[in-house]
Amino acid sequence: MKKILLIFGTRPEAIKMAPLYFALKDASDFFDVKICLSAQHREMLDQVLDFFNIKADYDLNLMAANQTLFDITAKILSNIEQVLADFQPDLIFVQGDTTTTFSGALAAYYKKIKVAHLEAGLRSNNKYSPFPEEINRRLTSVIADFHFTPTESNRQNLLHDGFENHIYVTGNTVIDALFQGLELIKSKGDAPFRDEFKAIDFFKKVILVTGHRRESFGLPFESICNALKKIARNFDVEIIYPVHLNPNVRKPVKEILGNVKNIHLINPVDYPTMLWLMNNSYFVLTDSGGVQEEAPSLGKPVLVLRDITERMEGIDAGTAKLVGTNEDIIFNNAKNLLEKVGFYNEMAQKNNPYGDGKAAKKIVEILKKYYKR
């Protein structure tokens, strides 16, 4: 039995780790798997765990108000040492590019424990965008012994950076989670969601918006909001925007969009609600990495509210379009999706480049072969 510890602390990490956790549990004759939470984001993390009915074995519970990157990094390193001493894992999995990702990998290195990096090889090639994620994932690559990449271009990024061993293209487990999540919603029925959003006319074209990246704070974010207002006033649509709690987001959103009747500003939603909204939208405006990957599997075009993305596969495939934060560019692309059926269908009917929903099973088979050597 090989002991594997999954370390994560945010909602996106939990979503992408959940399918791997279940795949490892299905191989319980070969792997003993446990979960350690940093709880970098407490409430939103717990929502995902509850949805998938996952119980953590270790919970560092480190979230605090107004914590800095210094606080998070230091607390994870100092608190996780006892967990590693207690479980003594053979392999530690970290996911993506959060501060928990890098700190977990560094702690494993200090204990000379092998590290597997889930969703490895993403690069924007700008160390301050996204910040601090670009450097977190680069530093994790240096430490990692196994690199599980979503796409071939991610593998090429690692080869370009000088990494050669144990690089595997598996697809992204976010697609596994998407399909599993939709099945859970289907089994329970969507009446609660219909009731929650009864004030919104889903017979109209619904545009789902997510936006919170810190590199857009200030004038760029105001420009995004002005574009949304222009879309709402020029088209008979419903715009749904779950607004991030950060005051740098909430202030301009409330000031610019608060009185626009067909823009629905709501509080952040849990994972199943986001899946349901995405599945019932016409297209998506987002600066989120996960949404760029998920929406194409549902046939939803994505306009990416960023100047740079580390997920160029969607742009290259045509499922997503990089529109930045310029008001006119955002509006004109939304106008094309709303008015030009051919433009819309060309994006909606492209194949998702991020996987087929079987990434977790592929990863477990790779690990089995490695440990059977």
Query: For 236-293, how does the pLDDT look when each residue is reduced to its tens digit (9 = 90+)?
Result: 999 999 998 888 888 999 999 999 999 999 999 999 999 999 999 999 999 988 899 9
Catalytic residues: 97, 119, 133, 212, 214, 244
pLDDT, one tens digit per residue, over 4-13 is: 999 999 999 9
What's the confidence (pLDDT) of residue 42?
83
What's the confidence (pLDDT) of residue 153?
95
The CATH fold assigned to 190-348 is Rossmann fold (3.40.50)
Give the C-alpha separation, 158 to 31, whole Å: 27
- Please say whether the beta carbons of 5 and 91 come within 8 A: yes
What's the confidence (pLDDT) of residue 342?
96
Domains in the chain: boundaries: 2-172+356-371, 190-348
What's the confidence (pLDDT) of residue 244?
86
Nearest-CA neighbor of 182 among 75, 51, 77, 10?
A: 51
Secondary structure (H, E, C), the chain = CEEEEEEECCHHHHHHHHHHHHHHHHCCCCEEEEEEECCCCHHHHHHHHHHHCCCCCEECCCCCCCCCHHHHHHHHHHHHHHHHHHHCCCEEEEECCCHHHHHHHHHHHHCCCEEEEECCCCCCCCCCCCCCHHHHHHHHHHHCCEEEECCHHHHHHHHHCCCCCCEEECCCHHHHHHHHHHHHHHHHCCHHHHHHCCCCCCCCEEEEEECCCHHHCCHHHHHHHHHHHHHHHHCCEEEEEECCCCHHHHHHHHHHHCCCCCEEEECCCCHHHHHHHHHCCCEEEECCHHHHHHHHHHCCCEEECCCCCCCHHHHHHCCEEECCCCHHHHHHHHHHHHHCHHHHHHHHCCCCCCCCCCHHHHHHHHHHHHHCC
What's the confidence (pLDDT) of residue 247?
85
Mean of per-residue pLDDT scores for the chain: 94
Residue owning tokens 């350690």:
36
- HSE on the CB side for 340, CA within 13 Å? 12
Give the C-alpha separation, 200 to 219, whole Å: 29
The CA–CA distances, whole Å, from 25 to 7, 12, 30 equal: 16, 20, 9
The CATH fold assigned to 2-172+356-371 is Rossmann fold (3.40.50)
Give the C-alpha separation, 173 to 120, whole Å: 12
- Please say whether the beta carbons of 33 and 62 come within 8 A: no
Sequence-distant (≥ 6) Cβ neighbours of residue 67 within 8 angstroms: none
What's at 258, amino acid-wise?
Answer: G
Q: Residue 109 corresponds to which tokens in the numbers above?
A: 């290195």
Domain 2-172+356-371 and domain 190-348 have a common topology: yes
Sequence-distant (≥ 6) Cβ neighbours of residue 178 within 8 angstroms: 275, 294, 297, 298, 357
* pTM for the model: 0.88
What's the confidence (pLDDT) of residue 215?
80
Ranges of the chain with pLDDT below 70: none
Give the C-alpha separation, 41 to 102, whole Å: 16
